[in-house]
């Protein structure tokens, strides 16, 4: 291991914890903010195509989130295994795990993308999409599936780099991806400058192009600058490495896929309310993704810090960083809830003038964001549990959130209060599960 790596490793295992969390989380936050800002801009572009196009985008969100859950789960398993190896000081082990993780990601995601591609229409008809909107959805998803493996390799490569404690380069890659998307999007969506007018399919193609370019950059840095990739793709220890990654990766995949499954159930519930309700959920999903970026950045910082300190046996520092992250989550949750409450009636006007869309989005922003702080506690607690190699509690918490609370409450409340009932169910679920996750993580880290 080089001296610079030893120094970096030492800084995470010693010294004040709060500055470490800020140093790790802030670059990730800006990268995620850039990516989710692109999603907002993407939604704004597509909104110019009409409410039907927005509804089509709304239908795609749960399935995109489902497959991204597989990718993020594998990335979490990669970060967990690599950060603990890095904490142990075993650089050769890190190299082997990094290479094996990318091979595993490429294989599994390629299979998943093929399955998804051949089931596009069937899946969306099952979700309640009407036949008039299926062609729009099909055009978007067909292109997205073709680029899914490259998206996965980009995320996996960034996970390997973050495991070493370097969060600046992955953040820069995410910002570059977002910039390419924002610049190229209108050319392909609207057919600017003699480009073909592709509509919603243009947004998918832009995403694939941007991720292809930045994936190449990420793999170059891993191989040539970080030098943590092995030239041998398969070796005698490959299966052992895969087991280590999947020990956390599989439960994390399950956890990440639960939310889009529950989102698909909610989409099915509101599909009978019309395209306006589905479009509103698509808009609020993008807004929420931007609003909770801080929580996921904190979670990523907690994961890196926890993994390295767990590998080094510094268990007391893990409990401390979990408590600090919970404090930051509650503070940010209060700030963002206040901002969204103030501008709740103005925000939907940027996306759609349909009266029902405006009403539903406004209701959402008045109710659900009040529970965002509790959601942040869940996200950071789960990040710590996964980093410690304890994925089962994290998975149980997500299962409890979706199927123990949210869906049953939403089904009951929707019968009496329609769309508003679903929002009330989500609010109550976030509050309850945030408290449970904090108490559970406090016990696990002690």
Average pLDDT in the chain: 86
The answer to the question of residue 131 being in a domain is yes
Residue 153's pLDDT band (boundaries 50, 70, 90)? very high
> Per the structure, how many domains does the chain have?
1
More confident residue, 394 or 369: 369
Residue 152 corresponds to which tokens in the numbers above?
């996965």
On whether the CB atoms of residues 54 and 352 are closer than 8 A, the answer is: yes
The answer to the question of residue 396 being in a domain is yes
**pLDDT score at 443:** 64
Q: Which of 198-207, 231-240, 348-357 has the lowest mean pLDDT?
A: 231-240
Distance CA 392, CA 411 (A): 27
Neighbours of 68 (CB within 10 A): 18
**pLDDT score at 9:** 44
**pLDDT score at 185:** 94
pTM for this predicted structure: 0.74
Considering only CA atoms, which of 300, 359, 290 is closest in space to residue 33? 290
Considering only CA atoms, which of 136, 441, 162 is closest in space to residue 319? 441
On whether the CB atoms of residues 117 and 142 are closer than 8 A, the answer is: yes
285 has pLDDT over 60? yes
Q: ∠ CA 375-68-62 to the nearest 5 degrees?
A: 70
**pLDDT score at 83:** 81
The answer to the question of residue 5 being in a domain is no
On whether the CB atoms of residues 257 and 52 are closer than 8 A, the answer is: no
The answer to the question of residue 357 being in a domain is yes
Q: Name the one residue in this structure whose structure tokens are 């998943």.
A: 112
Distance CA 357, CA 275 (A): 9
The answer to the question of residue 13 being in a domain is no
Q: Which of 64-68, 332-336, 350-354 has the lowest mean pLDDT?
A: 350-354
Distance CA 38, CA 202 (A): 14
Q: Residue 25 in 3-state DSSP?
A: helix
**pLDDT score at 11:** 61
Exposed / middle / buried, residue 168 (Cβ in 10 Å: 0-12, 13-18, 19+): middle
Can you tell me the mean pLDDT for 350-375? Answer: 91
On whether the CB atoms of residues 72 and 260 are closer than 8 A, the answer is: no
332 has pLDDT over 90? yes
The answer to the question of residue 6 being in a domain is no
Q: How far, CA to CA in Å, does 3 sit from each of 12, 145, 306, 338, 370?
A: 15, 42, 22, 46, 46
Q: Above pLDDT 90, what percent of the chain?
A: 37
**pLDDT score at 41:** 86
10 has pLDDT over 60? no
320 has pLDDT over 90? no
Distance CA 313, CA 309 (A): 6
Exposed / middle / buried, residue 302 (Cβ in 10 Å: 0-12, 13-18, 19+): buried
Distance CA 149, CA 210 (A): 13
**pLDDT score at 8:** 42
Can you tell me the mean pLDDT for 172-185? Answer: 92
Residue 163 corresponds to which tokens in the numbers above?
């495991």
Find the domain containing 86 and state its range: 19-445
The answer to the question of residue 12 being in a domain is no
The answer to the question of residue 10 being in a domain is no
């Amino acid at each position: 291991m080089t001296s610079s790596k030893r120094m970096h490793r030492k800084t995470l295992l010693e010294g004040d914890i709060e500055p470490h969390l800020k140093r790790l989380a802030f670059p990730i936050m800006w990268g995620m903010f850039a990516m989710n800002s692109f999603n907002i801009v993407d939604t704004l572009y597509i909104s110019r195509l009409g409410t039907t196009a927005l509804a089509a985008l709304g239908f795609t969100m749960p399935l995109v989130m489902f497959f991204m859950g597989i990718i993020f789960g594998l990335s979490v398993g990669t970060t967990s295994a690599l950060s603990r190896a890095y904490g142990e000081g075993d650089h050769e082990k890190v190299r082997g795990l990094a290479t094996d993780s990318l091979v595993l990601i490429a294989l599994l995601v390629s299979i998943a993308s093929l399955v998804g591609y051949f089931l596009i229409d069937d899946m969306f008809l099952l979700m309640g999409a009407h036949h008039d909107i299926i062609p729009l959805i099909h055009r978007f998803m067909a292109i997205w599936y073709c680029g899914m493996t490259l998206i996965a390799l980009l995320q996996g490569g960034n996970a390997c780099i973050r495991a070493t404690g370097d969060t600046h380069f992955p953040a820069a890659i995410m910002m570059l991806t977002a910039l390419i998307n924002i610049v190229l999007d209108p050319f392909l969506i609207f057919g600017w400058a003699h480009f073909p007018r592709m509509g919603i399919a243009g947004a998918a193609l832009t995403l694939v192009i941007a991720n292809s370019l930045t994936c190449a950059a990420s793999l170059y840095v891993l191989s040539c600058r970080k030098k943590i990739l092995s030239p041998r793709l398969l070796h005698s220890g490959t299966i052992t490495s895969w087991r280590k990654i999947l020990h956390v990766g599989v439960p994390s995949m399950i956890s990440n896929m639960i939310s889009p499954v529950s989102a698909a159930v909610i989409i099915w519930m509101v599909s009978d309310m019309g395209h306006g309700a589905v479009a509103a959920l698509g808009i609020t999903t993008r807004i929420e993704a931007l609003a909770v970026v801080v929580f996921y950045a904190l979670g990523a910082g907690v994961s890196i810090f926890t993994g390295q300190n767990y590998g080094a046996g510094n268990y007391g520092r893990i409990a401390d960083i979990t408590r600090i992250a919970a404090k930051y989550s509650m503070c940010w949750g209060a700030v963002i809830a206040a901002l969204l409450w103030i501008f709740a009636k103005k925000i939907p006007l940027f996306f759609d003038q349909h009266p029902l869309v405006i009403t539903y989005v406004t209701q959402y922003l008045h109710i659900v964001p009040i529970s965002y702080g509790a959601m942040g506690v869940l996200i950071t607690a789960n990040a710590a549990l996964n980093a410690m190699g304890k994925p089962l509690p994290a998975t149980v918490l997500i299962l409890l959130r979706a199927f123990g609370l949210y869906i049953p409450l939403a089904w009951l409340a929707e019968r009496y209060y329609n769309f508003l009932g679903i929002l009330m169910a989500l609010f109550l679920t976030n509050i309850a599960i945030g408290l449970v996750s904090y108490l559970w993580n406090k016990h696990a880290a002690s």
